[in-house]
Amino acid sequence: MRRLALPLIAVLLVATVLGVQVAAGGGHYLPRRPANPCTPRPVPPIPPQLEPLADQIVLLGLDSAACRLGISRERLVLALVDTRTLDPRAPAALKAGLGDAVDRLDREGRLPKVSQLLPEALGQANLPRIAKTILEAIPDGLVDNVLPTRPLLRRTIDELDVDRLLHELNNPRQLNPAIQSAILQAALRQILDRLRP
Amino acid sequence: MVVGLAILTPIFTADLRHAETPAKEAIASLVLDAPLPASTKLDLAAQLGSRLVADRGRVPDLPPAFKSLRVPARQAPAAAALERGLEDQLKRAATGAFRTAFLVAAGLAPLALGPALALSDRSRS
C-alpha cells in the first residue's frame, strides 16, 4: 500500500495541474484564426472622405481576392510582402477583388458622391491654382452627373498598375501619387467619354 | 531528466516553428481590422516587419514599433488597443507552442517514478 502511495500522489498532482490549466481555458488559448474571406464582413459607416473610402475598398478587395485564390486574407497580405514568391494569379485577383468591393459598396448605397470627395481630392491634387478654382466652381449636380462614383472607381481600378503598386508597398509615400494619377486618368477618360457625341 | 529534455526539446522546437505562421496571421488580422487609417497601418506594418526581422528566433518586442509610430491624438486609443491586442496574440501563440510539450512532460512525470521506486526498493533490501 505504501509502495503505491508515491505514484498515486504523483498522478494526482499531475492531474491537478492539468485540470487547472484546462479549466482556465488552456485548451482554447490559441491565436485568433483568420475569418473565411468568402463570407462577407459587415462594413462600418464610411465618412465621405478619400482615405476611409479607399481603406474599405482595399479591405473588401483583399477579402474578395483571397476568396478567389482560396486562401485567407491574412495569408494573402503576408504573401504580398515578398513579390518574388507571390502567386502569379494574385495581381489579377487583387484587381478583380477591388472591383468586387466597389460593386458591393455601390449595391449597398455606401459610395459617397464624387462632389463630396472633390474638395479633399483637389486639396491633395498637384494642379495649378486656376484649375482648382474652375473645378471648385462646377455645381455639385453637374459633377455627380458627369462623374458617377461607381464607374469612376471601376475605371480607376482598371487604370491601376497593381504590379507596380505591390512593388511600392514597402514605400507607402509612393502609393498616393500612383493612386492619384489613376484617379485623374479615370476621371479624364470618363469626362471625355461623356463629351463624345 | 536528461531523457525528458531529449524528448521535449525537439517537440517544443517544432511546435514553436509551427506557431510562427498562425501568430503572423493573427497579427495581420488585427492590424487590418484596426480602426486606424490605411497610411498608419502601412507605417505600422513596416515597423512590425523590422521588429520581426530584428527579433528573429525570439518572441518579438512590440512596444518599440508603436513608440516610433506617429499617430494623431484622436487615434492614440485605437493604437493603444491594437498594441494590447497584438501582445495578447503573441502571448497566445507562444503559450500554444508549449502545449504539446507540457502534456508530454505531464505524461513523463509519473514515468519518472519507476526508477525512483526501484532505487528505493534496492536501498531497502
- Count how many pairs of residues, chain A against chain B, have C-beta atoms within 8 Å: 83
Least CB-CB distance to A74: which of B29, B96, B110?
Answer: B29
Give pLDDT, residue A176: 64
Q: What residues of chain A score a pLDDT lower than 70?
A: 1-3, 170-178, 180, 195-197
| CB pair distance less than 8 Å for B117 and A81 | no
User: pLDDT of A165-197, one tens digit each?
Assistant: 887 776 666 666 667 677 777 777 777 777 666
pTM, two decimal places: 0.79
Question: Cell for A120?
Answer: 479633399
H-helix or E-strand spanning residue B83: helix B76-111
Query: Which chain B positions have a beta carbon within 8 Å of A172's beta carbon?
Result: 39, 42-43, 46
Question: Cell for A141?
Answer: 449636380
Give pLDDT, residue B102: 80
- Please, which residues have CB within 8 angstroms of residue A91's CB and are 6 or more apart in sequence? A162, A163, A166
Give pLDDT, residue A172: 61
CB of A45 within 8 Å of any CB in chain B? no
Q: Write the ipTM.
A: 0.76
Q: How far apart are the first and last CA of chain B?
A: 26
Contact between residue B69 and residue B79 where contact means Cβ atoms under 8 Å apart:
yes
| CB pair distance less than 8 Å for B42 and A172 | yes
Query: How far is the C-alpha of A144 from the C-alpha of A125, rounded, in Å?
Result: 19
Query: Which chain B positions have a beta carbon within 8 Å of A13's beta carbon?
Result: 109
Give pLDDT, residue A2: 67
Q: How are the residues of chain B apportioned to helix, strand and coil, as percentages rounded to the nearest 5?
A: 85, 0, 15
Nearest to A35 by CA among A5, A2, A60, A14: A60
Distances B118 to A3, B3, B121 between C-alpha atoms, Å: 10, 17, 5
Give pLDDT, residue A175: 63
Q: What residues of chain B score a pLDDT lower than 70?
A: 57, 116, 120, 123-125
Give pLDDT, residue A171: 67
Give pLDDT, residue B63: 83
Q: How far apart are the first and last CA of chain A?
A: 103
Give pLDDT, residue A105: 95
